[in-house]
């Protein structure tokens, strides 16, 4: 079935605004979105910036990496090191926490994020 | 057929444990619990922790929903008033009448209150429940002096509680000629008394209280010898009385001095009624500890489910910490010659007393007493209980092996499989080993979940840890401390590999020696190794730094940062103080003096950090590395320049040492201290390195730390000059940096180091590995390449650009970072 809500692509920032293998935060209205430049895998990811564990705006300042044999890409919140899958947004620890993820496109040195 | 109904009277520790034990064996019963207190079962053993910040919730043995989740009906604040044995019903205070098939009395005990004139006065308390503690706490606010009646185990616990509540003058009154007469002998008691007196406790022995005087409120205690003691409050802890009144009323057989008489199945004179815990009298004895109570609970659960288990008395060995002093008594502590031989060790300087009683043939241990140092308790108790044949020199058991290699692990592994390791939860060595072998348990947390070992009083935890390590080792399952799933190396191994191959960045290290894409564990470890080796500006590889290192500040609640400029040795000019004040004011920062003699400014927005540091650097400040695993501070006392006792100039030395090692990255943070005389005002012996002036030079101590598990630093060298101090420090710090596991402080590193302090002394002082010169050179290279990270960051536009919350709106601050006013400053909003 086709998605009924069309994704709207917003220009978030430039490629070199986000550190290699790290993240930055952008503002979209009242929304804060964390964008990750996973240079090592030549991939980009975006999630909500709010860590649901203690409601801190900090995910973009976390370290990224991979988990397990499947090399699931992940990010660790700098506050208490809760880690979340960059693909699904699910917490990889025991907690039942989920963060929102966004699609990302790169064109002409610009980073675009798909929002609802 | 409906389930048989079991009614439990009492929701204390033992009553709760009975429910747990029965559920573990069968779910074929309907369990109904009545408790007299308004709270569900809590940990009474650790009651005094209520005064150092633990809440009633922390002390709870389970959540409230645990009862309903397990189908248990819980009636709190509703004591049972009557048992009708012919109808097999109970009646509660609130008017509930219920029929039972079996009744379990776990009514516990109450404090024994002697009949002394004036006992009813205000300010006189007992020490039994959280409610008692709340009354004591409220009274203590206005009290300057307090007394505890009773110098037994509970009395001394109560005395500790009074000290914790800030009562400046605390007395203990004991009727007998010594403290803890039931557990320890008179020499041990003397040592305990000496230690407690040194800690400020006033102890009165051979004192019998005749009256409590005062108008409405207690004013003083009057003794039989006509002496008096003025106190603002009194806590009675003169023993316990079993709560047997309900049983008595029901016509059950009770002892002449109290207690419900039970058989080896814990049945009372009515076979459908059981009694367990401190209300039960078995063969003329009340068992006033939690472990036998738990055992009784299990016996009833076994009997109800037709399993075969009986009570045959219980080992009353005990170990506890009283006001910071270890006290233990085990096995037959009081047996004397000629029925045994006794080995004694007494050290009045350190306040240590140890006594062991061995059989006349020298083969077995019978029991003993330990005061001041009870580290050997678990192993000694196991030696008694399992009748382990003693070594040819049994004094080694209390003195440690002198000469030759000590091997702590082997002793534990030599225990038989049925040796009871955790007596609270009745877990044997066999069960612990099989949890490792078959259950895949590798740590204490997993062990607690799997077997419950160590979840009661916690006394067996060190032994359980040794068993886990020993079993894993025996399996060849030698767990190398690998860094994480991405690196199959210990930190030390990776350190050497990175060094030999001259690798300068994280991706190269991962490509050569790791797999996958790294993570939040290995990235900061490699970052620290790279920094300790090459000392490049860390923000050049910002994405592998922990958040604090990435933004060169400490992240705090709300996502703002705190700023700590370096103040070497704690010395600061008035002009610099003014600058800190002006900066804090301009950026709305909360200021606080730190424990390391410097000033912390909290609440800085990410985008303000470069502006703040520009001003601080202009005024001559440098980064304080409070955010890094690096040298924090070298604390100093004022020393011989001002102090009339000072032998040498401790401030100057502290500044020199702090300037030498500042910025150097290590496996964990490092703190130092320099004191100008033996009075030790800089508290140097609680630091990773401590330097203390002597008549002839300086004493150097290493590997101390504060934190959750404080440890005193140990003496490395005596009466050495400044140059030698620095030489040894270079070697010591570099050796630590190169060999320690990540996030391991020097104290823990030393504890794990084979050969301990004597080995370290050999390496550092005697240069037994021939590494001395190399270590000094490596340290000198780090000292020579020092740079202020903040200066680099603010002067480099691309680095500086990263200090923004929104990369697409760099001038806007995070609206979620919010503050509340507090005492004329601000604080972060609660999360």
pLDDT number for residue B405:
40
Residue B677, annotated as binding a ligand: yes
Give the pLDDT confidence of B314-359 residue by residue, as tens digits.
878 888 777 778 899 998 888 888 888 998 888 888 889 999 999 9
Answer yes or no: do B193 and B288 share one domain. Answer: no
What's the rounded Cα separation, in Å, for the pair B670 and B703? 10
Answer yes or no: do B575 and B593 share one domain. Answer: yes
Q: Whole domain around residue A38: which residue ranges?
A: 17-105
CATH number at residue A96: 2.102.10.10
Q: Side-chain half-sphere of B273: how many Cα atoms within 13 Å?
A: 25
Q: What angle do CA A61, A63, A68 make, to 5 degrees?
A: 150
Q: Is residue B294 part of a domain?
A: yes
| Closest residue to B523, CB basis, from A13, A25, A63 | A63
Q: Please say whether the beta carbons of A89 and A102 come within 8 A.
A: no
B440 against B408, higher pLDDT: B440
Q: Is residue A50 part of a domain?
A: yes
Q: Is residue B326 part of a domain?
A: yes
Q: Side-chain half-sphere of A37: how many Cα atoms within 13 Å?
A: 22
Answer yes or no: do B291 and B340 share one domain. Answer: no
pLDDT number for residue A1:
42
What's the rounded Cα separation, in Å, for the pair B610 and B606? 8
pLDDT number for residue B768:
85
- Nearest Cα residue in chain B from A18: B807
What's the rounded Cα separation, in Å, for the pair B631 and B617? 19
The reply to whether residue B542 touches residue A22, judged by beta carbons under 8 angstroms, is yes
The reply to whether residue A58 touches residue B806, judged by beta carbons under 8 angstroms, is no
State pTM to two decimals.
0.55
The reply to whether residue B559 touches residue A74, judged by beta carbons under 8 angstroms, is no
Percent of chain B with pLDDT over 70: 97
Answer yes or no: do B131 and B231 share one domain. Answer: yes
Q: Please say whether the beta carbons of B622 and B788 come within 8 A.
A: yes
Q: Is residue B217 part of a domain?
A: yes
User: How many folded domains does chain A comprise?
Assistant: 1
Give the pLDDT confidence of B587-624 residue by residue, as tens digits.
999 999 999 999 999 999 999 999 999 999 999 999 99
Q: Is residue A7 part of a domain?
A: no
| Closest residue to A27, CB basis, from B522, B806, B817 | B806
The mean per-residue pLDDT over the stretch B472-489 comes to 77
Residue B484, annotated as binding a ligand: no
3-class secondary-structure state, position B597 = coil
Give the pLDDT confidence of B6-15 residue by residue, as tens digits.
999 999 999 9
Give the pLDDT confidence of B125-137 residue by residue, as tens digits.
998 888 888 899 8
Give the pLDDT confidence of B513-543 residue by residue, as tens digits.
999 999 999 999 999 999 999 998 888 898 9
Give the pLDDT confidence of B774-825 residue by residue, as tens digits.
999 999 999 999 999 999 999 999 889 899 999 998 888 998 888 999 999 9
For all residues of chain B together, what is the average pLDDT? 90
| Closest residue to A26, CB basis, from B520, B522, B807 | B807
Which residue of B446, B486, B517, B546 is the best one to mutate when testing the A interface, meaning the one whose CB has the most A CBs within 10 A? B517
The mean per-residue pLDDT over the stretch B56-73 comes to 89
What's the rounded Cα separation, in Å, for the pair B258 and B611? 75
Which residue of B523, B543, B560 is the best one to mutate when testing the A interface, meaning the one whose CB has the most A CBs within 10 A? B543
Q: What is the ipTM of this complex?
A: 0.91
The pLDDT averaged over each successive group of 10 residues in chain A (116 residues) is 68 93 93 95 95 91 92 93 92 83 93 91
Using the predicted structure, report yes or no on whether residue B404 has a pLDDT greater than 50. no
User: How many folded domains does chain B comprise?
Assistant: 5
The mean per-residue pLDDT over the stretch B742-755 comes to 86
Chains A and B: how many Cβ contacts under 8 Å? 100
pLDDT number for residue B409:
40
CATH number at residue B332: 3.30.390.30
The mean per-residue pLDDT over the stretch B308-319 comes to 84
The reply to whether residue A58 touches residue B559, judged by beta carbons under 8 angstroms, is yes
Answer yes or no: do B265 and B217 share one domain. Answer: no
pLDDT number for residue B463:
82
Which residue of B449, B505, B518, B520 is the best one to mutate when testing the A interface, meaning the one whose CB has the most A CBs within 10 A? B520
CATH number at residue B746: 3.30.413.10
B818 interface with A at CB cutoff 8 Å: no
B114 interface with A at CB cutoff 8 Å: no
pLDDT number for residue B411:
66
The reply to whether residue A13 touches residue B805, judged by beta carbons under 8 angstroms, is no
Q: What is the dihedral of CA B58, B60, B63, B66, to 10 degrees?
A: 150
The reply to whether residue A41 touches residue B507, judged by beta carbons under 8 angstroms, is no
pLDDT number for residue B67:
94
Using the predicted structure, report yes or no on whether residue B1 has a pLDDT greater than 60. no
Q: Whole domain around residue B673: which residue ranges?
A: 554-784
Q: Which residues of A touch B544 (CB under 8 A)?
A: 21, 63
């Amino acid at each position: 079935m086709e998605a009924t809500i069309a994704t709207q692509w917003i220009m978030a920032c430039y490629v070199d605004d986000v550190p290699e293998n790290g993240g930055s935060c952008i503002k979209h209205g009242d929304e804060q979105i964390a964008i990750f430049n996973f240079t090592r895998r030549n991939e980009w990811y975006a999630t909500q910036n709010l860590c649901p564990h203690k409601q801190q705006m900090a995910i973009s300042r976390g370290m990224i990496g991979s988990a397990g044999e499947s090399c699931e890409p992940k990010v660790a919140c700098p506050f208490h090191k809760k880690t979340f899958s960059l693909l699904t947004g699910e917490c990889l620890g025991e907690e039942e926490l989920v963060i929102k993820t966004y699609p990302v496109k790169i064109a002409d040195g610009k980073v675009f994020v798909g929002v609802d | 057929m409906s389930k048989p109904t079991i009614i439990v009277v009492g929701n204390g520790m033992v009553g709760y444990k009975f429910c747990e034990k029965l559920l573990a064996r069968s779910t074929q019963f309907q369990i109904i619990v009545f408790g007299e207190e308004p709270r569900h079962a809590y940990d009474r053993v650790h009651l005094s922790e209520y005064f150092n910040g633990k809440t009633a919730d922390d002390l709870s043995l389970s959540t409230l929903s645990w009862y309903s989740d397990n189908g248990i009906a819980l009636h709190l604040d509703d004591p049972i008033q009557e048992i009708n044995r012919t109808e097999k019903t109970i009646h509660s205070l609130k008017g509930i009448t219920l029929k039972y098939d079996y009744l379990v009395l776990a009514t516990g005990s109450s404090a024994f209150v002697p009949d002394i004139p004036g006992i009813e006065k205000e300010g006189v308390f007992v020490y039994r429940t959280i409610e008692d503690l709340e009354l004591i706490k409220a009274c203590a606010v206005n009290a300057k002096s307090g007394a505890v009646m009773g110098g037994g185990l509970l009395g001394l616990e109560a005395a500790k509680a009074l000290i914790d509540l800030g009562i400046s003058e605390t007395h203990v009154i004991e009727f007998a000629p010594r403290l803890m007469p039931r557990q320890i002998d008179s020499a041990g008691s003397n040592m305990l008394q000496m230690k407690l007196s040194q800690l400020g406790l006033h102890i009165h022995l051979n004192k019998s209280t005749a009256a409590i005087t005062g108008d409405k409120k207690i004013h003083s205690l009057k003794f039989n010898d006509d002496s008096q003691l003025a106190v603002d409050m009194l806590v009675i802890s003169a023993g316990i009385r079993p709560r047997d009144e309900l049983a008595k009323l029901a016509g059950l057989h009770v002892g002449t001095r109290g207690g419900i008489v039970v058989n080896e199945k814990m049945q009372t004179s009515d076979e459908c009624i059981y009694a367990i815990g401190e209300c039960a009298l078995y063969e003329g004895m009340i068992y006033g500890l939690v472990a036998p109570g738990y055992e009784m609970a299990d016996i009833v659960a076994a009997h109800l489910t037709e399993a075969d288990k009986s009570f045959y008395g219980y080992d009353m060995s005990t170990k506890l910490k009283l006001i910071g002093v270890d006290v233990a008594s085990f096995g037959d502590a009081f047996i004397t010659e000629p029925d045994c031989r006794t080995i004694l060790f007494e050290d009045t300087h350190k306040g240590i007393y140890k006594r062991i009683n061995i059989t006349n043939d020298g083969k077995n241990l019978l029991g003993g007493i330990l005061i001041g140092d009870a580290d050997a308790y678990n192993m000694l108790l196991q030696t008694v209980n399992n009748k382990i044949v003693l070594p040819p020199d049994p004094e080694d058991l209390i003195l440690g092996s002198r000469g030759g290699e000590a091997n702590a692990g082997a002793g534990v592994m030599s225990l038989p499989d049925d040796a009871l390791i955790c007596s609270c939860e009745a877990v044997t060595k066999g069960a612990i080993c099989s949890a490792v072998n078959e259950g895949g348990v590798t740590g204490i947390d997993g062990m607690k979940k799997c077997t419950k070992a160590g979840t009661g009083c916690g006394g067996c935890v060190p032994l359980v840890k040794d068993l886990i390590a020993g079993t894993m080792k025996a399996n060849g399952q030698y767990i190398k401390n690998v860094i994480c799933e991405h690196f199959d190396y210990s930190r030390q191994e990776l350190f050497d590999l990175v060094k030999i191959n001259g690798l300068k960045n994280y991706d190269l290290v991962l490509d050569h020696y790791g797999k996958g894409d790294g993570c939040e564990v290995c990235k900061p470890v490699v970052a620290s190794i790279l920094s300790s080796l090459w000392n490049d500006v860390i923000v050049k590889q910002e994405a592998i730094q922990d958040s604090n290192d990435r933004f060169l500040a400490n992240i705090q609640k709300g996502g703002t940062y705190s700023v700590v400029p370096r103040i070497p040795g704690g010395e600061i000019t008035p002009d610099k103080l003014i600058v800190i004040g002006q900066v804090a004011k301009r950026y709305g920062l909360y200021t606080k003096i730190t424990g390391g003699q410097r000033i912390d400014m909290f609440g800085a927005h990410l985008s303000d950090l470069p502006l703040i540091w520009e001003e601080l650097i202009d005024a001559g400040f440098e980064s304080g590395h409070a955010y890094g695993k690096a040298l924090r501070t070298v604390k100093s006392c004022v020393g011989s320049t001002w102090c009339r006792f000072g032998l040498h100039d401790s401030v100057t030395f502290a500044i020199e040492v702090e300037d030498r090692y500042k910025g150097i990255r290590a496996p964990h943070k490092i703190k130092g201290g320099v004191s100008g005389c033996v009075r030790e005002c800089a508290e140097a012996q609680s630091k990773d390195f401590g330097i203390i002036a002597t008549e002839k030079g300086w004493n150097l101590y290493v590997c101390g730390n504060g934190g959750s598990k404080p440890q005193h630093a140990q003496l490395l060298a005596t009466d050495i000059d400044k140059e030698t101090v620095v030489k040894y420090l270079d070697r010591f710090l570099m050796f630590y940096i190169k060999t320690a596991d990540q996030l391991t402080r020097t104290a823990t590193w030393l504890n794990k180091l084979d050969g301990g302090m004597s080995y370290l002394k050999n390496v550092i002082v005697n240069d037994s590995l021939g590494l001395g010169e190399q270590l000094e050179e490596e340290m000198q290279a780090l000292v020579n390449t020092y740079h202020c990270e903040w200066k680099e960051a603010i002067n480099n536009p691309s680095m500086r650009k990263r200090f923004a919350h929104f990369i697409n709106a760099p001038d806007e601050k995070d609206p979620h970072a919010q503050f509340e006013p507090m005492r004329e400053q601000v604080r972060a909003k609660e999360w």
